[in-house]
Amino acid sequence: MSYKSFTFQQLKERFGLEPSLSPIWSAKVVPVEPSEWFWRSLEISSNTAVTTAKERSERIISPLLLEFRERNNRQFSIFSGWSFDVDVEQGLNGECDFLLSSVPFDLEIKVPVFALRETKGPEIESCLPQCAAQMVAAQLFNEREHNSIPAVFGCVTTGVVWRFLKLDGNNLIIDADVYCVDNVPMILGVLQTIVNSYK
């Protein structure tokens, strides 16, 4: 078993997770305007065929995360396509599309606070439990390393549609709001709200 094998029922039985659908952000999310570099990058991408998951990852998701890291003075690390084997016996192992760490720069994963799962097709709901499993792994990793983290966040995205999650203890909240890449400032605003919660 690995992250990609999990269902919500298995997460509930194995880890006691209680999923719920609710707005995550109690305060209003403040939109963050991207740089000219990002807008130009998105414009160039829009003039190419972006049809596969790899293309969406390279031309939309990765530039957006890099833009976000730059806006925060490179105060966290981005790990793309890394294996994150936290507990193989419990199925918390496998490759993560993206993990964000609160450590500014490192060559190994430390203090993971955000997991992003990229879908291979247009349907994001089927990938929510896979992302949640990676968030459980991040939570367990931080507990073992004695990293005091209030909550772990996650996101499932097609590159165009973005849906966020929050894991606080056993409570898994799936954001009732969905964000689209045609409103990048709101996606960056949500990401900024997440980073601000660790300050």
| pLDDT, tens digit (0-9, with 9 covering 90-100), for 49-82 | 777 778 888 888 999 999 999 999 999 999 999 9
Domain ranges for the chain:
3-196
Number of Cβ within a 10 Å radius of residue 21: 8
Beta pairing partners, 140:
none
Q: Domain 3-196, what fold?
A: tt1808, chain A (3.90.1570)
Q: How far is CA 77 from the centre of its chain?
A: 13
- pLDDT tens digits along 134-146: 999 999 999 999 9
Percentage of residues of the chain with pLDDT beyond 90: 73
DSSP label at residue 11? H
